[in-house]
Every structure is written in structure tokens, then in C-alpha cells.
Structure 1
């Protein structure tokens, strides 16, 4: 299995998710968008993983690759390809499906308990995780649930933590990939941020590293089951036109915020 991984910033790598995918035999093609690397045709791969980043989805002027990525996600959706979007990646997936992205009612930074909805507890992505998840969060913006999608999870401060569109496209607001090393990079220089308890967060994530890794392993195992299972193509209009018109590197203009 080959997975196209879109990385937006040097400190936002695939972490536990990448380790779990490779442990299960998946080959990862990591594209470093912040370095200007072009996005190949996603349909050459078996799945698409879009990672996080501190930019927002509407900053195409500052980050032109956001438009290229939006086009790639649309193409993957049109072909009913498995997609997993994490934080910024989840917001990009929601945006590609027509949902607005907005500043959340509260900033979430830290280890946060995420509760599954009734649909989430029954969803194959969260098999074995029905009691909910404790996850790393670091976001100001969040997504609305796209039309036709199913809300799967929430937290006390953020109503929309996960959704599924069709049977194989998932958007997550939280960060299951974060390792202690990734977190250390994020926390560098954050000592003066009143929203961040730097020593406390480092300590808690280090103490729970085994549980966070196991949780990511379960999510990846479940996602791979979804990737190889039966599908119900999502109800997108002009699916064939989207596939036929896409070219690697093509951009689709999108409105600013």
C-alpha cells in the first residue's frame, strides 16, 4: 500500500501515524509543501494523508500550495480515495467539501479528552476506542461539519472534532500523530505564551507517550481496514469531470476569508 503524505511545516511530520503505517507495510511518499515540492497525482496512491500546520486554510496568497492541495483533495474525493486529514488537513478536507472554517470559541492547546458521538462509537475508524480518546490539541480554527458528512467526535471546547464523508474520507481536528519530539519542536519559544503550560505539557505527553502511540496504532489499523473494505462512493456532483480535469500541480482558485 502506498500513502501520499502532505506535510506543511518542518515540525509537523507524520509522527506516530507514519510509524504505524510503515510498521504495517505501507510505503510513504512524503511531500514537503513548505519546500515547494509539487503534489503528484493522488490517484497514483492508495490513500492520502494531510497533516497539520499553523497557517489557516484561506492563506493562499502566503502559501500558494494550499490551492494545489485543495485541488488534490477534491480529486481524491471525486475518486472515492481514502483520505485522512489531521488538524489543518481536516480543515482542508472540510473546505473542499464546502464547509466553512472559522475561529473556534476557544483555543485548544494541550492534552484534551475527546468524546465520540453515537455515530463515532459505531464508526470503523474508532473501533476499539469507544470510550473516547485523550489527544494532543493545538488549534485556533476549526471546521463546520460538511453537508452530507457525519459528526463523529467532540470535546468540551470544540463541538466538531471528527467527521466522515462517504465511507473513506475522514477529517480530524486533533493530533494523533504527535510524539514527544514533535511536541518539543512546537513548544520551542512558547515559554511566554500564556495559553501554553510548556513544562506541564511536556511532562504529561512524555508520561502518556505509550498510550498515545497505542492510540495512533489503533487508528491506523482501523484506517487501513477502511481503505481495503467495501465502499459507498460519496454523493459528489460531476465526479467524472473532477477526475478528468485534474492535472498534478493544477490549482483551483478559492475565495479568501
Structure 2
């Protein structure tokens, strides 16, 4: 692993259009440094020094979470996610990232009952958690996935939908979300213009999603800010703890 000059959050991406969006807004607001990498094709990627990581984010992407032959870097991501959670480092998985986290922790990857694409609702479970602050029983989110996961042993389920039993879970310092809260207006416009994202949609579906976005996003944005600000605050606390644990050089005073 390569050296990193300072403690910061590592963000791993899997497609040019699957960017962190609102996650970066929260990290910036909390003054948390970050670096973004893509390691999909690297079986032995050059990653930052593990001890310098204050947090880990795994973004979405069109591939399967266990497509290791085509994307060997996914195996390295799974190992890193598990190691980060075991070490108590704040870890966030979105969509594909959620699936990478879940399978790394012992959950199973499987096809969903049907593709879940577009705006819909998730239902808060009774054992919901501060990692996923939902003010009501249901919340509006943006879905965009085919695969889903089973809950890893020892994980806490946080939310579900009609088609997907595990929409969100917490495992130690890790939060996995099958849905997308990070998509701001700029990203959404890119998604609607990206053939890989809309290849299974009719033109009328794309038009409907564009029309729905402003109203739906007004509901999603405060939820997203609460989730990502909480994650950023945990990363900030991790940095402070790491800095406090750094050995200090003894100064020699010559009189």
C-alpha cells in the first residue's frame, strides 16, 4: 500500500457516472479530507496505508459485486471493507457498495424479485438506528438495482421495501444502503443521459423520472443530508482519535 500524507476518507468508485455527489458535500462541510480511486481492474491495487484511513466509501456501479474474474479489484474492495469495519472505521456502502459490504461480511448475493428502478419508498424497521435517521415509518428514495443481498449474521437490519428485504443494514461501524441518496440534480441529469443507466427504460420512463425528480428530491435531500452528515461526523471523530493516538516527538532542550 502507498503512503498517504494525512488521515482521510477513501472513496472507491466503479463507473464515471456513479460519483459521491452529496456525500462529498457533507465531508466538505465537516472538514474531512478524502481521496477518490477506481481499482476495478487491479488484482493488487496500490491503496493508501490502511492505518491512515479515517473512513471508507464504496459507491455504486453496473457490475455484480462478485464479478471477480472481470473485475479483480472487487475482491480487494471486499477485503478492505471487512478490515475497515473490524477496525471500527466508519464505512459506507451505496448500492453495489452495499452489496460488496454485505457479501464481505458473510451475506449472500442473489437476483432481486424484479428490477427496482425509480423513485419509491423504504420502510423503517423497529430496530432502526442513528446511522439511518428516518423521521417517519417510510421514506422516499431513488432505487436503481437488480441484485440484492441477504443480511449478514450479526448485522442489524434498518430498512426494507416491498421488493427488497435488506434495503439497509448496520454492522459495527458500517452502513450499507441499497438505494441512492447521493444523487443531486447534476448527477441525476447525467444518469438520465447515460445509456448504461437508461438502457432498460422506455423514453416515457425517462421523461417521467425527469418530471418527478424535483418533487421527490425535495423529500430525499434532507434525509440524505442527515445520513451523510452523520457519516462525515464519525469520520471527523475518527481523525481526531487517530491524531490523538499519534506518538509525539520528545523535544530536547539545550540550556
CA RMSD of aligned residues (A): 2.4
Q: Residue 183 in 1 paired to residue 188 in 2?
A: yes
Match of 2:116? 108
1:197 is paired with a residue of what secondary structure?
helix
Match of 1:74? 82
The 1:146–1:207 alpha-carbon spacing in structure 2 relative to 1, beyond 3 Å, is same
Q: Distance in 2 between matches of 1:195 and 1:146?
A: 38
8 Å contact from structure 2 (residues 93, 176) kept in 1: yes
Q: Distance in 2 between matches of 1:211 and 1:32?
A: 31
Return the match for 1:213 from 218, 221, 225. Answer: 221
The 1:196–1:51 alpha-carbon spacing in structure 2 relative to 1, beyond 3 Å, is farther
Q: Residue 126 in 1 paired to residue 127 in 2?
A: no
2:127 is paired with a residue of what secondary structure?
helix
Q: Distance in 2 between matches of 1:144 and 1:55?
A: 18
2:224 is paired with a residue of what secondary structure?
helix
Cα deviation digits, residues 136-174 of structure 1 (max 9, x gap):
1100001110001111100111111001112x1111111
Q: Distance in 1 between matches of 2:218 and 2:212?
A: 11
8 Å contact from structure 1 (residues 43, 81) kept in 2: no
Match of 1:193? 201
Match of 2:163? 157
1:140 is paired with a residue of what secondary structure?
strand
Q: Residue 171 in 1 paired to residue 176 in 2?
A: yes
Match of 1:140? 146
Q: Residue 62 in 1 paired to residue 70 in 2?
A: yes
Q: Distance in 2 between matches of 1:162 and 1:124?
A: 12
Match of 1:254? none
Q: How far apart are residue 209 of structure 1 and its match?
A: 3.2
Q: How far apart are residue 211 of structure 1 and its match?
A: 3.3
2:165 is paired with a residue of what secondary structure?
coil
Q: How far apart are residue 196 of structure 1 and its match?
A: 7.6
1:39 is paired with a residue of what secondary structure?
coil
8 Å contact from structure 1 (residues 20, 216) kept in 2: no
Q: Residue 16 in 1 paired to residue 5 in 2?
A: no
Where does the alignment leave 5 or more consecutive residues of structure 1 unmatched?
231-257
8 Å contact from structure 1 (residues 124, 226) kept in 2: no
Q: How far apart are residue 182 of structure 1 and its match?
A: 1.9
| TM-score, with length taken from structure 1 | 0.80
**After the TM superposition, which of the residue ranges 189-198 and 19-28 deviates more from structure 2?**
189-198
8 Å contact from structure 2 (residues 32, 236) kept in 1: no
Where does the alignment leave 5 or more consecutive residues of structure 2 unmatched?
1-6, 239-255
Runs of 4+ residues deviating >4 angstroms: 34-37, 225-230
Q: How many residues align?
A: 227
Q: How far apart are residue 220 of structure 1 and its match?
A: 1.5
Q: Distance in 2 between matches of 1:143 and 1:172?
A: 11
1:208 is paired with a residue of what secondary structure?
helix
Larger Rg: 1 or 2? Answer: 2
8 Å contact from structure 1 (residues 43, 76) kept in 2: no
